[in-house]
Amino acid sequence: MLNQIMELARASGRIMLQHQHAAIHQKEGHFNFVTDADVAVQTFLKKELAALLPASRFFAEEQENEPLTDAPTFVVDPIDGTLNFMRRRNMSAVSIGLLENKRPVMGVVYNPYADEMFSAASGQGAFLNGQAIHVSQTPFENAMVCFGTSPYDADLVSRSMNAARQFLLRAGDLRRGGSAAIDLCDVACGRADIFFELRLRPWDVAAGSLIVQEAGGFFLSLGHDRPYYDDACGILASSKACAEKAKKILEDEAL
């Protein structure tokens, strides 16, 4: 099934690229948008994933969702990094996670601009275009730290910036990419060492969190004792070499 999900992600990437001039619509909240491309990809995936696994449920960004259950559920972000997509920054991805008992068992993140397909199945490792990937062993003091600014949540601005400042002072350098799914995959393949954001939705992380963990990394849903996909929460993903110090900064500055 993982190969079939990857093929659907690749087809979704083609839809993205065919809709570069898609109409843009304002959503509720600060600087929050959806495009007709998001809707086209989600409509395609909702149909095709239901055909792939008829008993499954569908939980996605551009619809009203029922609460998660233990049933097999595809958790989908049709275009993670919509603002990047709107501004032609070539850093957006299709993210598809399959959850069972509210835990990811398969995850696929596809960046059509780079033709990079990240994938993982529980207990089977993580891969980029079919090649095994692993988190880095870079020490915290030299770490590349990616972060998100939670732009839809004004109450998190100070805490996000305080944490980012401490990472900049204590670790290596910072990057703000604009796609949580891609940032998670960058941690998984060693391009970055840490990624944090103080509020993300389940579709932002359902696939990428599994890819990080299957690559040997650390993933934490802030405020929870296990990865949490029922609702929005903060997250930390890192190599195991950086996990303890990264977690301490977030505990001191952001929680």
Q: How far is the C-alpha of 111 from the C-alpha of 113, rounded, in Å?
A: 6
pLDDT of residue 30: 63
Please, which residues have CB within 8 angstroms of residue 32's CB and are 6 or more apart in sequence?
A: 26, 151, 152
Helix segments in the chain, DSSP class H: 2-18, 36-52, 82-86, 157-170, 180-188, 202-214, 243-253
Class of domain 140-253: alpha beta
pLDDT of residue 166: 97
Q: Which ranges in the chain are annotated with CATH 3.30.540.10?
A: 2-132
Q: pTM of the entire structure?
A: 0.96
The predicted-structure confidence for 151-168, as pLDDT tens digits, reads as follows 888 889 999 999 999 999
pLDDT of residue 222: 95
Q: Which ranges in the chain are annotated with CATH 3.40.190.80?
A: 140-253
Helix (H/G/I), strand (E/B), else coil: 156:
helix
- How many C-alpha atoms does 127 have within 13 Å on its Cβ side? 17
Q: Which residues of 17-48 are buried (b: 16+ CB within 10 A; e: fewer)?
A: eebeebeeeeeeeeeeebbebbbbbbebbbeb
Measure Cα distances from 253 to 29, 109, 162, 175, 201 in Å.
Answer: 25, 30, 6, 19, 21
Pair of tokens at residue 203 = 């579709």
Q: How far is the C-alpha of 128 from the C-alpha of 73, rounded, in Å?
A: 23
pLDDT of residue 29: 67
pLDDT of residue 27: 74
Place of tokens 């932002």: 204
149-155 long-range contacts, Cβ below 8 Å, gap at least 24? 149/176, 149/197, 150/197, 150/198, 150/199, 150/200, 151/30, 151/31, 151/32, 152/29, 152/30, 152/31, 152/32, 152/199, 153/198, 153/199, 154/30
Per-residue pLDDT of the chain (255 residues; tens, 9 = 90+): 999 999 999 999 999 999 988 888 877 766 678 899 999 999 999 999 999 999 999 999 889 999 999 999 999 999 999 999 999 999 999 999 999 999 999 999 999 999 999 999 999 999 999 999 999 999 999 999 999 998 888 889 999 999 999 999 999 999 999 999 999 999 999 999 999 999 999 999 999 999 999 999 999 999 998 999 999 999 999 999 999 999 999 999 877
Class of domain 2-132: alpha beta
